[in-house]
Amino acid sequence: MKKVLSGLLKMILILILVVLIGVGGLLGWLTYTEYRPADVEQLEFMATTIDADALPAGESIDLLSWNIGYAGLGAGSDFFMDGGKSSRAADKMQVSEYLAGIYSTIYNSELEPDLILLQEVDIDSSRTFGINQAEQLGRGNAVHALNYSCPFVPIPLPPMGKVNSGLLTTTRYDVESAERISLPCPFAWPLRIANLKRCLLVSYLPIEGSDRQLVLVNLHLEAYDDGEGKIAQTKVLNDFLQSEYAKGNYVIAGGDFNQIFPDGLDAYPNAHPELWTPGLLTEDMLPEGWSYAYSLDVPSCRLLNQPYNPADTVNTQYYVIDGFILSPNVELEMVENLDLGFANSDHNPVHISVKLAG
């Protein structure tokens, strides 16, 4: 009996040792391959229209911002970080169907936005079966900035696997240059190594008959931190916006703030803070003359604790966390959230019309 117990103990110790070596090896490999972008990186365009026109002066400009949820988080989906179970789309066909719906919405003849800002756009990820979504959605002048790149995300079970995802800005108008500006990462090692590295995707667009530019900022701020990450990233964002406005430029920042816009909690109370609690945007966070552009008429996001079921009013949670910030010389003419029933993404698009004043 003693020999049997001794043998079992040795086997258990060997198994523990193998697991420790495996975990250590994985952590070492992920640390070695960790995505470490520079503070500022010049970006190359994926697609370019050589003879594109400059933005027209004095005319209305339409913009669309949409977190497309990597075409894997439509009405039939949930997500493990929100209290659900999944981390990837069900299959390649589902991704293709969601992506086709996203494309149809963006480029339908009635909408025709001039400037398009998309978030969570995959280019080579296991969760979306290797489909290059940026290539399919980019038209005219298109640029993609990574904010999530990891050769193997080991959570949940089954693991998410390889992820390459980020922000996509695309327009039929001329873009002089584009750059990726890193935002503070709130996570320490080892959480940091397989986590997002958030950024701003900044595009500089010439304006017809003017030496000023439109500085267009595409963003997706921190989601699953303790709140300090959002605060730090929002400060970097605001400092950058003000520095560009001080140069005499027009400035528009749009995207997924992962923070509730003013009065958003009154419109959509958070009944499930134990699953996810967004940050809060307030009017006093903006300098004098600056403004938010958002709508409370339709939610811009839903909680992914379960597949979408609007009839289940107890467990279906809505938010307004997507919108824009406008500099004082940008006049808002219209803002709406398109009510798409979360068919192809866990977010609804935000559509605005503005005019560059002065």
Minimum mean pLDDT range among 83-87, 217-221, 275-279: 83-87
Full strand arrangement of the beta sheet holding 177-182: 40-42, 177-182, 199-206, 213-220, 250-256, 322-326, 291-293
Cβ neighbours of residue 40 closer than 8 Å, sequence gap 6 or more: 179, 180, 181, 182
Kindly report whether the global pTM for this prediction surpasses the value 0.85.
yes
Please name which of 143, 341, 352 lies closest in space to residue 254, comparing C-alpha atoms: 352
Tens-place pLDDT, residues 26-61: 788 888 899 999 999 999 998 777 678 999 988 999
Q: In whole angstroms, what is the distance from residue 344 CA to residue 95 CA?
A: 9
The share of the chain scoring above pLDDT 70, in percent, equals 95
* Per-residue confidence (pLDDT) for residue 110, from 0 to 100: 82
Number of H helices and E strands in the chain, helices first, is 5, 17
Candidates 348, 350, 346, 349; CA nearest to 81 is 346
Burial of 260 per CB tally in 10 Å (0-12, 13-18, 19+) = buried
Is the pLDDT confidence value at 4 over 60? no
What is the pLDDT at residue 136?
95
| Cβ contact 308:76 at 8 Å | yes
Residue labelled with tokens 């009996």: 1
Confidence of residue 118 (pLDDT cuts 50, 70, 90): very high
Mean pLDDT computed over 312-324: 98
pLDDT recorded at residue 20:
72
- Confirm if 67 and 345 have CB atoms less than 8 A apart: yes
Condensed to tens digits (0 to 9), the pLDDT of residues 197-236 reads: 999 999 999 999 999 999 999 999 999 999 899 999 999 9
